[in-house]
Structure 1
Amino acid sequence: MSAWIRCPNIDPSRWDRHDSLHSWWIALLAAPVASGKGLRSLIILVLWEIWPERNHRIYRHKEPSANRIVNCIKDQTAVWITVGAKHLQYFVYAT
């Protein structure tokens, strides 16, 4: 995802400054307002899409490819923008 939106801060290999997800999230809250809102929305969207895929893998033994999941995330991002998540545009349309 970090390559898609050209945002290296969300690349897990750069999280060495943070000892927990909570401290990483707090650092995101300090981001500039427009980009911060978009980034937080995108992270929530990614988690929203990954959680059911996790459940499908565990409970239904279905394993879609990583590309399929990424494409679903991209599709849902477009839907969220269409229905009013305007700050996501900062990342998606800048690529």
Structure 2
Amino acid sequence: MVECPYSKQIWSAAATWAGCPSLSPAIWSANFDLQSWFCHLLKVQQQYRKGVGSLVLLIVWSLWRERNNRIFRKAELSVPRFISFLRDAIRMWIFAGAKFLSSLVGHIFCE
């Protein structure tokens, strides 16, 4: 989820959209266990913490689905295509009322 080159590109893109350096794999420690990694991701201003939490869950869930598609369906998305689907999922969550996610990354849909 976090060590393969494919997922690192996804996390880097999300760090850029969200303006949240803690999402960038470039600054993650190799010594992080899952709990430490998640706590590190949430080291953001209090007002953005819930939005970052939502974004992290959405990315992990999307990467897990991509992993399953690759293993069980022998189908894989390119990074740009995956990012497009991820942005669509973010848009749907925001439309469904994810206000904290909207305050974090809603601006990417105004570009």
Tell me the TM-score range normalised by the shorter chain: 0.7 to 0.9
Q: Distance in 1 between matches of 2:43 and 2:17?
A: 22
1:42 partner letter: L
- Structure 1, residues 27-53: CA drift from partner, whole Å, max 9, x if none? 344543330000000000111111111
2:73 partner letter: R
Identity %: 36
Q: Please, which runs of 5 or more residues in structure 1 have no aligned partner?
A: none
Q: Distance in 2 between matches of 1:43 and 1:54?
A: 16
CA contact (8 A) 1:5 1:94 kept: no
The root-mean-square deviation of aligned C-alpha atoms, in Å, is 1.9
2:78 partner letter: S
Q: Distance in 1 between matches of 2:24 and 2:43?
A: 17
Larger RCO (CA under 8 A, 6+ residues apart): 1
Q: How many residues are treated as equivalent by the alignment?
A: 95
User: Secondary structure of 2:15's match?
Assistant: coil
CA contact (8 A) 2:48 2:104 kept: yes
After TM superposition, the runs of 4+ consecutive aligned structure 1 residues lying more than 4 A away are none
Does residue 48 of structure 1 match 2:61?
yes
Q: Please, which runs of 5 or more residues in structure 2 have no aligned partner?
A: 1-13
